[in-house]
Amino acid sequence: MKKVTLFISTAIVLIISTMSCNDSKTIQEYLREEEQAIERFLKKENFDVTTKWPGFEAFQKNDKLYYKTDGTTYVYMHIVDIGDTARKVTTKDWVQVRFESLTYIKTYVSGDTTRYAFADVGPYYASQPLEFRYGNSASYTADLSGLACAGWATPLTPDFEGAVGEGAIVDLIIPSVSGNSTDNTNFQPVYYKRLKYTRFY
């Protein structure tokens, strides 16, 4: 009897495990779903995307223009204001950041159009900026909110006409691959509206 019970228990565990494996998605499927959500978001917002660097002036002429960076850790960015280009970030500088709002793209294109304001990440942040250390990838997820990510640092790199300066304002669509650890785990792309680099120090 014990052998029969053990056999049945083992069979049930194997069946459940097999069902779980069949129901789970591959990483490629999750990434494709994320790409489709971004594509729907771009279409919904009537954003134009280019993969060729358009120059700072092009963003001023077209407020719907987004540049998609290349590589595996890519972002979409729109430069609203280039800031003080005499004040550029240097490696190991701390960068303070504020933003107008953030939107979780997958839920947005599914019908939940909620946008979260900067203060919504917690009462402390209503008065305090978020920050990360440029060139130190560990700091991109070390801020108290857990929001900081590699995608925030992208517009500061010298790849784009020498980069934006202190006080620059950008709109960013950050896929999970360039997002914070939570977004990366959940394959969650995020749209940051009017993200401002308030201070380098």
Is residue 3's pLDDT more than 80? no
Q: How confident is the model at residue 142 (pLDDT cuts 50, 70, 90)?
A: low
pLDDT at 186: 93
What predicted TM-score, i.e. pTM, was given to this entire model?
A: 0.84
Please state which of the ranges 16-25, 34-43, 67-76 shows the lowest mean pLDDT. Answer: 16-25
CB 134, CB 93: distance < 8 Å:
yes
How many domains does the chain fold into? 1
Cα separation, 164 vs 154, in Å, equals: 10
DSSP letter string, 48-70 = EEESS---HHHHHH-TTEEEEP-
17 pLDDT band (50/70/90 cuts)? very low
Domain of 83, CATH number, reads 3.10.50.40
- Note down the domain range covering 33: 2-200
Q: What is the pLDDT of residue 114?
A: 86
Phi then psi dihedrals of residue 20, to 5 deg: -65, -40
